[in-house]
Amino acid sequence: MTAPQTARVNGIDLSYEVAGNGPLVVMVMGTGSPGRVWKANQQPALVRAGYRVVTFDNRGISPSSECAQGFTLDDMVADTAALIEHVGGGPAVVIGTSLGGRITQELALARPDVVRAAVMIATYGRNTALQEAISAGERALYDNKITLPAEYQAAITAHLNLSRHTLDDDRSARDWLDVIGFSSQAITPGVRAQLELHNREADRRTAYRGISRPSLVIGFADDRTLPAHLAREVAEAIPGARYEEIERAGHFGYLERPDEVNRLLIDFLGSLPS
């Protein structure tokens, strides 16, 4: 594994890390989260399976450029494409979750030359009224300089992102509340700029019929943040896409059920033509 590096691409700085050797895999995180989240489970499993894995902090997440003045989803798509070209060895298998899934879909559509295959986890192709309301509330908290009590913030985060099966077990729930409380990320100006992307997002399902790269979509049965039917819709829109749904998992299913997620990833990557 290399130490964190900085690439000057697409007019900004992106902080990234490379681990392993083999075919290139680039992993894209969701709103407000750093790339190191992948290192808990998916990155080590992919490295052991013989892949060269790149994780990075999206624009908006320090030490990458925060770009607090604002940016677009297209900017983030262009960042990912430029990073693939920067590290070399592409085209890459691109794996994204949540907002990272949306970026991956758009990248496969706009820049198929840099995408070998695409994996979208807990993703979506359209907004819902509930999503819009939650996102508007998150922006309002920041804009009005409101900080929720840490214990309540952890509880709300757990409720929105973990399966009821996890939270129904008190010992498991306490452990997760501790982890969330310890690792919670402050909403910075850069994260606020990411949150703005969720304001009146377009329905892109029709456009995704133009995606030509092999695609795997993974939904989580107990996802409250982006319900599984939204991921299924993306799979239905992409010609030939494979859809898998993991039970007893919420929006953080790649952390709750890492073995199942890793198995699907490695199986899909192993099925790709050389």
Q: Is 135 a catalytic residue?
A: no
- What share of the chain has pLDDT > 70, as a percent? 100
The mean per-residue pLDDT over the stretch 241-266 comes to 98
Mean pLDDT of the chain: 95
Q: Is 251 a catalytic residue?
A: yes
The mean per-residue pLDDT over the stretch 153-171 comes to 95
Q: Which 3 state secondary structure label does DSSP give 28? A: strand
- What share of the chain has pLDDT > 90, as a percent? 93
255: Cα separation from own chain's centroid = 12
| 99, pLDDT greater than 70 | yes
Q: Is 222 a catalytic residue?
A: no
Q: What is the pLDDT of residue 184?
A: 75
The mean per-residue pLDDT over the stretch 87-114 comes to 97
Least confident range of 158-172, 186-200, 222-236, 252-266 = 186-200
Per the residue annotation, which of 33, 65, 98, 163 is the catalytic one? Answer: 98
The mean per-residue pLDDT over the stretch 145-154 comes to 93
Q: Name the phi and psi angles at 9, rounded to 5.
A: -135, 145
| 33, pLDDT greater than 70 | yes
**Is the separation of the CB atoms in 100 and 29 below 8 Å?**
yes
pLDDT band at 1 (very low <50, low <70, confident <90, very high): low
Per the residue annotation, which of 57, 79, 222, 223 is the catalytic one? Answer: 223
pLDDT band at 63 (very low <50, low <70, confident <90, very high): very high
pTM over 0.85: yes
Peptide bond into 239 cis (omega under 30): no
The mean per-residue pLDDT over the stretch 120-144 comes to 94
Domains of the chain: 5-127+202-271 (3.40.50.1820), 131-183 (no CATH)
Residues 6+ positions from 258 with CB-CB distance below 8 Å:
40, 41, 42, 45
pLDDT band at 267 (very low <50, low <70, confident <90, very high): very high
pLDDT band at 200 (very low <50, low <70, confident <90, very high): confident
| 28, pLDDT greater than 80 | yes
CA-CA distance, 262 to 173, in Å (whole number)?
23
| 2, pLDDT greater than 90 | no
Closest CA to 147 of 188, 176, 112: 188
The mean per-residue pLDDT over the stretch 77-96 comes to 96
| 144, pLDDT greater than 70 | yes
CB atoms inside a 10 Å sphere around CB 267: 12
Q: What is the pLDDT of residue 179?
A: 93
